[in-house]
Amino acid sequence: MEHLHQSFTVQYNYNIFFTSALFSDQNELLNNFLINLNPAVTVKKILFVIDEGVANAHQGLVAEIKTYFSKYDKTQLVQDVLIIPGGEQVKNDTRYFDQVLDAINIHGIDRHSFVAAIGGGAVLDMVGYAATVAHRGIKHIRIPSTVLSQNDSGVGVKNGINYFNKKNFLGTFSPPVAVFNDELFLSTLSDRDWRSGIAEAIKVALIKDAEFFEWLEDNATALAGRDIEAMNYQIWKCAKLHLEHIRSADPFENGSARPLDFGHWSAHKLEYLTNFEIRHGEAVAMGIALDSVYSNLSGRITADEAQRIINLIQQLGFELTHSLLQVTEGNSPILQGLEEFREHLGGELTITLLTGIGSGEEVHEIDTEILKQAAEILNNQTATIQH
């Protein structure tokens, strides 16, 4: 018998909005978005899940949300706002995932309704995953509260939780229906969390936009000094570069190439090895430093280019390396990160290395001896990168 073949294309659309005081009763942005999406549906509900750190830092947030939806009542607010811990623990412990599913079930959140998450990247990842698997897909809205989630994780198409002690072992590719970046959430971040997200700006500039890298160099002092105007531009530019990548490349990662994970193979492992005491952005900064020096030692970029990268990382206040990034022998813990990264890609190891500031290439193997040298150079924190 002849075989049957089917092929179809699904179009995804979502917007990233930039605003201030999203839940002010004078700000109609969220309400207008909700009522314009599927206006024919009579009753739409919205369930909010909030990062506990955000709720503590913004004591009046829940009351503000309730006041907002009492004024703009075309969308029915679930009054039982769910508050869950932030940080990687929310992706490591499945009880929080179960809590979100319970709330979706108890409050009758259907596929015409919304689950909105307010928080850092870990909360957005977990809530997005729960929304995506419930009823085969409930519309989810991301309201990122950190620099890292506003410029990177919150604007992408991935959701997930950690499992088997592996980062994002369970997950989906499912874009949000919208992202709302509210600058007010950044005002209460610690200096450490403010800085952490800038690592992803360095990353995307290094692989995609030399001019943006120069802007980061010129504005490093302002960024480190919590200049909100500089930070808003950095977030907007990162979001723009991420969206361009998603549109033009391989959004659901059917191939093995993941240029947006430059500097991440060691960062993911380092996070686990330190029990997440090292922030994601801090680990990424170290991973960028390691892969940049490796790119120099392997003849891909010049010593001057590598030194510029090191200088920027240090100017922004990041550490360059960690004792667990040292390669002392063939079974050094960080080397396990290479194998886990290969496995996560689903086949061949593919690492992006730099060929210049603003450009990269894919490689399929890493020379352990060169990696050891790169780690040693950073460990010594020398000002001179080898020619």
Residue in the block written with tokens 């703009």: 72
Q: Which residues pair with 353 in a beta bridge?
A: 361
Length of the chain: 387
Q: Domain 249-380: give its CATH code.
A: 1.20.1090.10
Q: What is the pLDDT of residues 324-358, one digit of tens each?
A: 888 876 678 888 777 777 766 666 788 899 999 99
> How far is the C-alpha of 295 from the C-alpha of 309, rounded, in Å?
11
Given CA atoms 150, 155, 161, 165 in this order, what sign does their dihedral have?
Answer: negative
**Contact by Cβ (8 Å): 124, 117:** yes
Using pLDDT thresholds of 50, 70 and 90, give the confidence band for residue 209: very high
**How are beta strands 82-84 and 15-19 bridged, if at all?**
unpaired
Q: What is the pLDDT of residues 300-313, one digit of tens each?
A: 999 999 999 999 99
131-150 in b/e form (b: 16+ CB < 10 A) is: bbbbeeebbbbbbbbbbbbb
Q: What is the pLDDT of residues 170-188, one digit of tens each?
A: 999 999 999 999 999 999 9
**Is 0.75 topped by the overall pTM?**
yes
20-48 in b/e form (b: 16+ CB < 10 A) is: eebbeeebebbbebbeebeeeeeebbbbb
Output the pLDDT for position 261. 79
Using pLDDT thresholds of 50, 70 and 90, give the confidence band for residue 11: confident
SS3 of residue 331 by DSSP: coil
Domain ranges of the chain: 15-188, 249-380
Amino acid letter at 220?
A
| Helix, strand, coil content of the chain in percent (nearest 5) | 50, 15, 35
Q: What is the pLDDT of residues 68-121, one digit of tens each?
A: 999 999 999 999 999 999 998 999 999 999 999 999 999 999 999 999 999 999
* Rg over CA atoms, the chain: 21
> How far is the C-alpha of 344 from the C-alpha of 166, rounded, in Å?
9
Strands (E), 40-174: 44-51, 75-77, 82-84, 114-119, 139-144, 158-163, 166-173
Contacts of 209 (CB under 8 A, 6+ apart): 237, 241, 358
CATH 3.40.50.1970 given to domain 15-188: yes
Output the pLDDT for position 256. 45
